[in-house]
Amino acid sequence: MALIMLILMNLAVMASLYIFIFILGAFFGIHLDPKTTSGLFMMAAVFGFGGAFISLLMSKWMAKRSMGVEIIDTPQNEAEEWLLSTIAKLSAKAGLKMPEVGIFDGPPNAFATGWNRNDALVAVSTGLLEIMDPKEIEGVLAHEMSHIKNGDMITMTLMQGVLNTFVIFISRIIADIISPKNEEGESNPFAYMAISFVLEMVFSLFSTALLMWFSRYREFKADEGAVKLSGPEGIYYALAKLGQIPKEELALPEGMKAFGIVGFLETLFASHPPIQQRLKHIEEIAQIR
């Protein structure tokens, strides 16, 4: 699925780029040198995908460090033993290799990360373990295991890489067109870089909005996966309980916060759909009330 999505996204991006270049030539008389354009595209792809994949490869290490995750190697109490056995059960049911399991201090939350499905980490907060019953916790764990099974980590990285490439490529082309030229027709390097930087920031807002839209879509899919792995009640009542907690009490530490913009931008840049929408979706697929 991730490979198919990458191919489709690349085709869409390439088509958009060719249309963009055609419009420049047909309507504005601006003809770009194919060699320069190809070289620029290759550079943009290296930087765009390179940054995304480096982040993916470092994701487990960064999560452990920034969140203070303590990996459970040998259970020290019944709660940790239950946590390991529950994730082992869900892993077997999902056909996945047992991920690393960890606990971090913080408000009710959980996450999954890792560069592939067989080298993942699932971590839950002490706050979540304190306020939820075993069935609800299992529902949350099933949701995180579904992220791993669906390959969301690699898929999001591929999408980020394509969007990064698009942003860098288009920004540099536009910057070259509008930046001041000398007598030889060469762009002023300082103006070119400044304009490129500003354009990349602007286009990054649009690419981030698109990426977050896809993130919200994958959350619905992970909820569906949780229903299949552990039944609808656990994830449903876990979400309902989280919905009763003020947002500020659910905030992750600074390094792991999602976008916190209020009003319209809060919805546009949110990585997760509103809890009420997720509850309604579960009701529709599982006939639960």
Q: Which residues are catalytic?
A: 144
Please give the C-alpha separations between residue 238 and each of 186, 234, 246, in angstroms, as whole numbers: 60, 6, 15
d(CA 176, CA 106): 47
Decide: 215 and 268 in contact? Cβ < 8 Å: no
Decide: 30 and 24 in contact? Cβ < 8 Å: yes
Catalogue the long-range contacts made by 209-213 (C-beta closer than 8 Å, 24 or more residues apart).
209/268, 209/269, 210/163, 211/156, 211/159, 211/160, 211/163, 212/259, 212/268, 212/269, 212/270, 212/271
Per this entry, what is the length of the chain?
Answer: 289
Decide: 230 and 223 in contact? Cβ < 8 Å: no
121 sits in which H/E element: strand 120-125
Across the beta sheet with 70-71, what order do the strands follow? 70-71, 100-104, 120-125, 110-114
Distance, C-alpha 112 to centroid of its chain: 11
Decide: 152 and 218 in contact? Cβ < 8 Å: yes
Which residue do the tokens 């990585």 mark?
271
Distance, C-alpha 4 to centroid of its chain: 18
Decide: 18 and 42 in contact? Cβ < 8 Å: no
d(CA 270, CA 151): 20
